[in-house]
């Protein structure tokens, strides 16, 4: 039987060839076909920059780039894993997954397995052979790590017979990042990868972890534009901004006549009335997630109305706030967004993720995407002497067992 994702009910377009390649490589390495497979997509952040740890709202989307994780039972107690893109292998004992220094990618698998093992009780911990392969470019801001965790988590849960819901699996992936990979991420990447839906955006409430999928017009898509720039102040400045947001929440809790446990509880109108009591920098830092929350809530209604030009303006507003208030942009990202505003067909643009480098995301009509993307690449190369990496992505289905 031909190895095809469509035969398993999954329509992932350009990933079909990746799946067939993964199947072939699995047979070549292990001498037999796989018995279990899962797929998980990467993600983009559309609106809601730095709102997750402020208990706010985020609008995101799973994309049509992802990772396949294939496995089958093995004899003995040793699990063998292969990264299919570089054909690098690594082993660990089935009952004792632990963090490793190298290869770093193994930590996303062992960390996810460690979380699943806590749900196994006394069930046998069988060994397996596994291979993963995807088409998410590393370092492009599309969260290849979460795609590996979620595809691996779904395949391992199916293999071991673990019954877990999506939010539990998202938390297991987050714990793998924290304890095994050493990355203090939130839940946005894992939730979006799991809850994505074709032609829908994902709206997440990070206070309640309620997730809603909101229909998006079929004639829009996104450009992801990787600047290939990463500035040295990332980690320290990220932590400093979290601290400033927490300090601002404490300030507003002392001034407002309702409880404030996070900046989610403060409106822009309340900020306007009371921010004079804070130092200017902390006040500007606070305005960014406060304004972002209101932009995400408005964006949900705009999506339902099909008002894409208005949604695009919110993305430009978001980046302006990142640039001026949160100061987590950089010259490369600012150039991309300013350039996007001048290119016909691009409706909105903003930085994506933590900032200080990395990627921008742009809202564009599907018929204009290739032309607009080429214009962005050309302008960036003229300005900086090298091309940025631009890809067209569309809102797509979330992770699933094949």
What is the torsion angle, in degrees rounded to the nearest 10, for the CA atoms of residue 198, residue 203, residue 204 and residue 210?
-80
pLDDT at 9: 47
Q: Do 37 and 15 meet the contact criterion of CB atoms below 8 Å apart?
A: no
Q: What is the pLDDT of residue 186?
A: 78
Report the pLDDT value the prediction gives residue 184, as an integer from 0 to 100. 73
- Indicate the SS3 state at residue 357: strand
Q: What would the two tokens of residue 27 be?
A: 């047979």
Q: Show the tokens assigned to 4.
A: 């095809």
Options 1.10.3720.10, 3.40.640.10, 3.40.50.720, 3.30.230.10; CATH for 5-43+64-215 is: 3.30.230.10
Residue among 52, 64, 189, 397 flagged as catalytic:
189
Please tell me the pTM assigned to this model: 0.89
Tell which residue, 123, 116, 94, 112, has the closest CA to residue 164: 116
pLDDT digit of tens for each residue in the chain (402 aa)? 345 444 444 544 456 799 999 999 999 999 999 999 999 999 999 999 999 889 999 999 999 999 999 999 999 999 999 999 999 999 999 888 888 889 999 999 999 999 998 888 766 678 999 999 999 887 777 888 999 999 999 999 999 998 899 999 999 999 998 888 887 777 899 999 999 999 999 999 999 999 999 999 999 999 999 998 765 545 577 788 889 999 999 999 999 999 999 999 999 999 999 999 999 999 999 999 999 999 999 999 999 899 999 999 999 999 999 999 999 999 999 999 999 999 999 999 999 887 888 889 999 999 999 999 999 999 999 999 999 999 999 999 999 999
User: What is the spatial distance between Cα 265 and Cα 252, in angstroms, rounded to a whole number?
Assistant: 9
CB atoms within 10 A of CB 213: 18
Q: Which pLDDT score, from 0 to 100, does residue 133 have?
A: 96
Question: What pLDDT, on a 0 to 100 scale, did the predictor assign at position 103?
Answer: 94
pLDDT at 4: 47
Quick check: 177 and 153 in contact, CB under 8 A? no
The confidence score (pLDDT) of residue 228 equals 83
pLDDT at 185 (0 to 100): 75
- The Cα-based distances of 171 to 49, 85, 149, 211 in angstroms read 20, 27, 11, 14
Q: Domain residue spans in the chain?
A: 5-43+64-215
> Are 285 and 324 in contact, with CB atoms under 8 Å apart?
no
What is the model's pLDDT at position 6?
45
Q: Is 334 annotated as catalytic?
A: no
> Tokens at residue 336, please?
């991309």
> What's the pLDDT score for residue 354?
79
What is the per-residue pLDDT for 8?
44
Lookup result for tokens 């992801």: 224
**pLDDT number for residue 14:** 55
Which pLDDT score is estimated for 41?
A: 95
Which uninterrupted H or E stretch holds 385?
none
């Amino acid at each position: 039987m031909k190895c095809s994702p469509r035969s398993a009910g999954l329509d992932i377009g350009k990933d079909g060839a990746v799946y067939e390649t993964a199947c072939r490589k699995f047979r070549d390495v292990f001498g037999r076909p796989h018995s279990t497979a899962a797929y998980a997509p990467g993600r983009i952040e559309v609106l809601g920059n730095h709102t997750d740890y402020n208990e706010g709202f985020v609008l995101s989307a799973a994309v049509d780039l992802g990772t396949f994780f294939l496995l089958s039972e093995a004899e003995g107690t040793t699990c063998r894993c292969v990264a299919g893109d570089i054909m690098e292998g690594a082993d660990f004992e089935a009952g004792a997954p632990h963090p490793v220094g190298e290869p770093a990618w193994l930590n996303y698998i062992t960390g996810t397995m460690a979380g699943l093992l806590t749900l196994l009780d006394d069930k046998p911990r069988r060994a397996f052979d596994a291979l993963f392969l995807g088409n998410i470019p590393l370092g492009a801001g599309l969260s290849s790590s979460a795609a590996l965790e979620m595809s691996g988590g779904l395949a391992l849960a199916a293999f071991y017979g673990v019954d877990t819901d999506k939010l539990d699996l998202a938390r297991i992936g987050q714990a793998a990042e924290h304890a095994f990979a050493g990355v203090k991420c939130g839940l946005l990447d894992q939730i979006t990868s799991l809850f994505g839906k074709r032609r829908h955006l994902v709206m997440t409430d990070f206070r309640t972890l309620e997730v809603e999928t909101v229909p998006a017009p079929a004639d829009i898509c996104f450009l992801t534009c990787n600047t290939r720039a990463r500035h040295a102040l990332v980690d320290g400045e990220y932590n400093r901004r979290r601290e400033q947001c927490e300090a601002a929440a404490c300030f507003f809790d002392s001034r407002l006549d309702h409880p404030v446990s996070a900046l989610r509880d403060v409106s822009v109108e309340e900020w306007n009335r009371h921010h004079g009591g804070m130092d200017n920098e902390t006040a500007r830092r606070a305005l960014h997630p406060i304004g972002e929350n209101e932009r995400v809530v408005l964006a949900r209604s705009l999506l339902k109305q099909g008002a894409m030009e208005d949604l695009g303006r919110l993305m430009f507003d978001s980046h302006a706030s990142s640039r001026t208030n949160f100061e987590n942009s950089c010259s490369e990202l600012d150039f991309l967004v300013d350039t996007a505003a001048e290119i016909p067909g691009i409706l909105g643009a903003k930085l994506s993720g933590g900032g200080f480098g990395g990627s921008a995301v742009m809202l564009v009509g599907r018929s204009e995407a290739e032309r607009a993307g080429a214009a962005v690449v050309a302008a960036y190369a003229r300005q900086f002497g090298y091309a940025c990496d631009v890809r067209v992505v569309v809102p797509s289905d979330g992770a699933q067992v094949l």
